Each structure stands twice: as structure tokens, then as C-alpha cells.
Amino acid sequence: MFSRERFGEYASGALWVWPTIASAAALVAGSVMGQITISPQSPMAPLAFQGTADDARALLTTISSTVVTVIALVLGLTVVALQLASTQFSPRLLRNFIRDRSTQLVLSVFLATFVYSTAGLFTVGVWGGSRTEEYPRLAVTVALVLLFASIAMVVYFADHLAHSIQIDSVTTRAELGARKIVERELGTSEESRPQPPAWAVPLVALRSGYIQVAHPEALLPLASQYGVSVALHHRVGEHVITGTPMASMWRSSAADPVPDVGMVSRALDSAVEIGFERTLQQDVTFGMRQLVDVACKALSPAINDPYTAVQAIDHLSVIFCAMAVRPLGDDVVRDDRGAGMVLVPGRRFGEHLAVMCGIIRRYGAAEPIACQALLRLLSSCAALIGDDPARREAIEKQVALIVLDAQRRIAQPEDFVAVRAAAEAIVPTLPQLKGAP
């Protein structure tokens, strides 16, 4: 199951998969169309190509050469878009552009047209006089239809590319990717995390890389069978190194024997996907980090575009508001008898705020509109959390830190007044905040 999941994630981000499938489909379609003959009395005769074999040969040759040129153009424009996204926004956004279905669709149509037309030359012949006038005319008509479809795709791709590199499109795509994880994959246990006892046995990582996906339910049958508890040390999205402890395993008593460590390590390796890069399968912090990167890049002296940072913070607010109304924490699964337990650690709401808001705050403390955007994010969250004291305290602490950094970094006192007013609208007793430095 997990190998299919890994392949599905890889295939969705590979530019060659769908074009390859489209090419194979074009070969099959060409083979089928090549068997169809249209008589002059057939109702479909007007749809069949009306030229000679030499005309069909010239047409297919022209289509093949033209589409190859267009493919090179599209690939060049795609590389330009990737380079722009990497330098202007964030290198972590490259995966979003590669996974773009529109780009994969355009390349698929182009490659299918080229393969279909080139394969058609085997039917009508590559050189003049090598075939008779009897050739599959309807198949040549399909090649002409594919040519018009490819021309339409050129116009569509130019429009799509122009929109895809706009900041609104970039940030919206990052927001949607993170929100899908919030709605589907985050842990829900906000209880205190059980600490491994002194007799816990370490389970080492068998591979190096980033934890992309963790399925504790896949390891639960083994944990239940042997009555052990297994707790990972790393969250999804964190890096592990071969041979270092990745989890701990223990039983209720030091006197109880534990199962074979190698067997459990292999089962753990099957339940936890480790890859060379972070993905958006379960890693919500990666989706948020994309928006944080956009904000930090925009606030850097090299770009100096605070309004883009404000847009990124606004999209980040949508994600935090979605998290504010649901429990966050560890992903814990137990069997019905309570004999086995598997735990994957996760961040609480306050930890997400501290990490994401903290990075932008340190970069943008000197810019009043960036500080106000962060305070709007916290104000929106405060309106949704209800009476949760832990989350209220986390919000109040972030408000205090924003005000203190802004007061230290903003040059003009008049510019600081609006920041202070926005903070006091969230926390009226700002100087007496609990936990403020």
C-alpha cells in the first residue's frame, strides 16, 4: 500500500508520467485508426482527408517538425517559470509548479500529437512513391485535429503561465495545499505526550531523509500483538539519519521482554515513508513554510516588497484560522484492549504560531504594515479559539513579541502607534501579558 502511495506522490510531481501515458495512448489510437477504411459512399467520407498520399506525407512531416519546435518552446518557458519562482518567491515552491496539472496536460497533448503523426509516416511512407493511394485517410484527419488542439494548447499555456507566476496564484496554491492537510491529516491528541521509560529500547532509522508520511495504524497490529508502545521522536517533515534513534519501544514493565528490535524496525520503516524531500502529503508545516518564505523574501532588502509579504500573511491567516477550530497535537492510535500504542508527535497550535509567526516577525519587525498583518492573523485566530486558555496564552505571547520587536525596530514613533493600537485591540492589558519578556 505504501509503495503505491509513494509512487502516486512521485508520479503527480513528475513531468514525464502523463506525457508518456499520452504517447502510448496515441500509438494505440493510431494503430486502431489505421485499420479503418472509409469508402466514398460512407457518411463519414467528408471527414476523411481528401489529399493524395504525398499530401498526407507532407502534412504529417510538417506536424511532427512543428510540434517538436513547440515542445522545446514550452519546456523553455517552463524552466523560466521555475527559475522565477525559485528566485522571486521560494525554492520550496518549485514542486508546486512541477505538479501543475495544466503544464502536464499541455505537454501530454504535444507529445501525443508528435508520436501520432510520426507513427503515421509508417503508414503513408516516408518518401514519395513508397505507398499507393490506399492509406487510412481518417487517421490523417485525426492528426490534423491534434494539430489544431496543439495550437489551442499553445495559447492556453501562455495564458496559464502568465497567471501561474502571479503572486496571488502562487500564494493561493500554497494555501490550498496546506488546508487540505489541516482538514485531513493532523493529529488530534492534545494530552501530555507519554515519555519513554528508562527501559525503553531505541529503534534506529534504516534510511536518511525527511519523514514524508507516517501511518501509525499500520504498526498498531504488531504493537498490539506484543503489547508494546512505540513513540516516534520526530514529527512529519523532520529529518532523520540512518542509524540514529527514530523511535522508542517499551512495555509496561522492565521485566517484560520486548520483541525483536530488527523486526520492529523494519515494520516501522514500512509504516513511515522517508524521502529526500519534504512533501505536502501530511506535512502542514511545509505548506505554511512556503508562505513564510514568500513573506520573508519580500521583506528582504534585495526585493523590498512589503505588500507581497502582507498578501502571504493573509493567506497564512486562512490556514491558522482553519487550525484554530480543531484539536491539534499528536497522532495516537491504541488497540481496543489497551495493550499496544503507537504515537507520532505533532505540533500544538501555540507551537505552530511560534514557528511561523516568529520567522516573519523577526524579518518584518521594522515594517509597520507587516506587523499589522501579523496582528490581524492573531486577531482572527483569537475570535475563533473560544475559551481555550492554552491557545489564548499563545496568541497573547505572540502579540507581545510583535509589539516589543516593533517598538525596538520601527524608527518613527508615529508609525508604531498603529501597531500598538492593533495589538491592544486583541489584548487590552498588553504590558501585563503572561509570558511576555
Is residue 359 assigned to a domain? Answer: yes
Is residue 267 assigned to a domain? Answer: no
Residue 211 pLDDT > 80: yes
Name the 3-class secondary structure at 9.
Answer: helix
C-alpha torsion angle, residues 253, 259, 261, 266 (rounded to 10): -130
Is residue 397 assigned to a domain? Answer: yes
Name the 3-class secondary structure at 235.
Answer: coil
Is residue 36 assigned to a domain? Answer: yes
Q: Which of 137, 165, 193 is the last residue of a domain?
A: 165
Q: In angstroms, rounded to a whole number, what is the distance separating the alpha carbons of residues 97 and 80?
A: 11
The pLDDT > 90 percentage for the chain reads 55
pLDDT band (50, 70, 90) for residue 146: very high
Is residue 103 assigned to a domain? Answer: yes
pLDDT band (50, 70, 90) for residue 232: very high
Q: Phi then psi for 419, rounded to 5 degrees?
A: -65, -45
288 and 148 assigned to the same domain: no
Q: Where are the beta strands (DSSP E) in 233-328?
A: 239-240, 245-250, 272-275
Structural domain count, the chain: 2
Report the interhelical angle of 167-184 vs 306-324 (nearest 10°). 20
Neighbour count for residue 103 (Cβ, 10 Å):
22
* pLDDT in the model for residue 432: 47
Is residue 232 assigned to a domain? Answer: no
Burial of 303 from C-beta contacts in 10 A (0-12 / 13-18 / 19+): middle
Is residue 309 assigned to a domain? Answer: yes
pTM of the entire predicted model:
0.84
Mean pLDDT of 381-405: 92
147 and 291 assigned to the same domain: no
Q: In angstroms, rounded to a whole number, what is the distance separating the alpha carbons of residues 175 and 189?
A: 24
Mean pLDDT of 298-322: 93
* pLDDT in the model for residue 436: 44
26 and 161 assigned to the same domain: yes
Q: In angstroms, rounded to a whole number, what is the distance separating the alpha carbons of residues 352 and 363?
A: 17
Instruction: Tell me the DSSP string of 104-133.
Output: HHHHHHHHHHHHHHHHHHHHH-SSTTSS-S
Quote the domain boundaries for residue 301: 284-329+347-432
Q: Which residues pair with 344 in a beta bridge?
A: 331
Q: Which residue has the cell 523511535?
A: 247
* pLDDT in the model for residue 125: 54
Mean pLDDT of 1-7: 63
Residue 100 pLDDT > 80: yes
Q: Which of 130, 149, 165 is the last residue of a domain?
A: 165
Mean pLDDT of 201-228: 94
| pLDDT, tens digit (0-9, with 9 covering 90-100), for 8-19 | 777 777 888 999
Q: In angstroms, rounded to a whole number, what is the distance separating the alpha carbons of residues 161 and 204?
A: 45
Is residue 307 assigned to a domain? Answer: yes
Q: Which of 110, 137, 165 is the last residue of a domain?
A: 165
Q: Return mean pLDDT, the chain.
A: 87
User: Who has greater pLDDT, 43 or 61?
Assistant: 61
Residue 86 pLDDT > 70: yes
Residue 265 pLDDT > 50: yes
